[in-house]
Amino acid sequence: MNKQIYPLLIAQFLSAFADNAILFTVIAIVMQSSHTESWYIPALQSSFLLSFVIFAPWVGHVADQYAKSRVLIIANLIKALGAGLLLVKVEPLLAYCIVGLGAAIYSPAKYGILPELAGHAFLVKANSWIEGSTILAILLGMMVGAKVADYSTVWALAGTIILFLASALVTLWLPVNRSKETESGSKLVIFGQQMSLFFVTSQSRFAILGGSLFWATAATLRVIIIAWAPLVLFSKNATEIAELTLFLAIGIITGSAIVPGLISLERLRRVRIPAYLMAVSIIGLSLTASLWPARLVLLLIGTMGGMFIVPINAVLQEQGQNSIGSGSAVALQNFFQNLAMLIAVGGYTLAASKQVDPVTSMLALGGLVLAATFFVSLCLPNNRVQSE
């Protein structure tokens, strides 16, 4: 494994820690303010996702045209700006949207640089490390962020700004490489052409659809838990909700760690098994009414999710590097993933505004994931090299 991946792991850890600290800080701000409407927190999630969809035609181009290490620095500075706007009490929907813009720029550069550092032989392993360190950062970020935010949202926001700036500094140790020459002309037209080109193979189609399914599920489950935990488990603040989702994060770390030995790029069809188990576990969670069973089910959901998403990311990066550019491929993936998340979270926001019970919403989510997994699995490669 290229030793240059270590600065990326550190920079990504710091940035992801701050991303999740700021999420639970925003939740604490909302819970402590007059924004008590059931639709407001799902709307916050949607404002974050909007940038991934709107700017997808441009952020992949930027990641491929310029040194990805320098793009990561710019993205962290934009995230710090969004946190600063929250600090001076700008409307959370707008300020959190700016944080989302930084994240939209960060993602193609972060995943796009992996093939440059790892190569084919270590790409799944590198993704496992990235996912594992990211989820560890999520785990610590949401716990520390929630506890500090329950004490002082000002201190929590100041801390996230420092972390974003620290991540930008660590990124200076990454190599300054320009991946490929990008096409000139309208980025919207080029984005459409890249979309057509990238959907030619079954591997790339599955990477796009599978990633969209996973992240739409994760985003929707997270906002449902925010409403479900106080109702069913009587959670009272951001810290208690963060402690509950801790088990989901530990599960994803576990799944990300064990998947390289179970699912290689040549055995991609195996990912349908953890996807089905994830769907069944979400249905099981909707039937849970006490704390420890809920924690254990969340652990299982996370484990299956980690085993599902890591090989998908590796396939997408390799397919992208060999065709439209790894940065553009990740931007394309982000477009579909975040469009799926917007639709899913938007559907839940609508359901919440109609006073639909969160238990019912969670049960419906599990059923939809089960059905979607079946249809997405139809896009899995089915040849002698990659079949069971």
Task: Flag whether 29 is in a domain.
Answer: yes
pLDDT in tens, 309-356: 888 877 877 777 666 766 677 778 778 888 998 899 889 988 888 888
Domain count, the chain: 1
CATH of residue 162's domain is: 1.20.1250.20
Task: Flag whether 212 is in a domain.
Answer: yes
Task: Flag whether 168 is in a domain.
Answer: yes
Task: Flag whether 388 is in a domain.
Answer: no
The confidence score (pLDDT) of residue 179 equals 54
Task: Flag whether 181 is in a domain.
Answer: no
pLDDT in tens, 124-156: 777 778 877 887 887 788 889 988 998 899 999
pLDDT at 300 over 90: yes
Q: What is the pTM of this model?
A: 0.72
SS3 assignment for the chain: CCCCHHHHHHHHHHHHHHHHHHHHHHHHHHHCCCCCCCCHHHHHHHHHHHHHHHCHHHHHHHHHHCCHHHHHHHHHHHHHHHHHHHHCCCCHHHHHHHHHHHHHHHHHHHHHCHHHHHCCCCHHHHHHHHHHHHHHHHHHHHHHHHHHHHHCHHHHHHHHHHHHHHHHHHHHHCCCCCCCCCCCCCHHHHHHHHHHHHCCCHHHHHHHHHHHHHHHHHHHHHHHHHHHHHHHHCCCCHHHHHHHHHHHHHHHHHHHHHHHHCCCHHHHHHHHHHHHHHHHHHHHHHCCCCHHHHHHHHHHHHHHHHHHHHHHHHHHHHHHHCCCCHHHHHHHHHHHHHHHHHHHHHHHHHHHHCCCCHHHHHHHHHHHHHHHHHHHHCCCCCCCCCCC
pLDDT in tens, 259-295: 887 887 677 788 889 999 999 999 999 999 888 999 9
Task: Flag whether 259 is in a domain.
Answer: yes
pLDDT in tens, 23-65: 889 888 887 776 556 678 778 888 888 888 888 888 877 887 8
Task: Flag whether 243 is in a domain.
Answer: yes
pLDDT at 173 over 60: yes
Task: Flag whether 322 is in a domain.
Answer: yes
pLDDT bucket at 388, cuts 50 / 70 / 90: very low
The confidence score (pLDDT) of residue 184 equals 63
pLDDT bucket at 197, cuts 50 / 70 / 90: confident
pLDDT at 383 over 50: no
Q: What is the mean pLDDT of the chain?
A: 84
Give the domain extent around 357. 5-174+186-377
pLDDT bucket at 387, cuts 50 / 70 / 90: very low
pLDDT at 200 over 70: yes
**pLDDT above 70 covers what percent of the chain?**
91
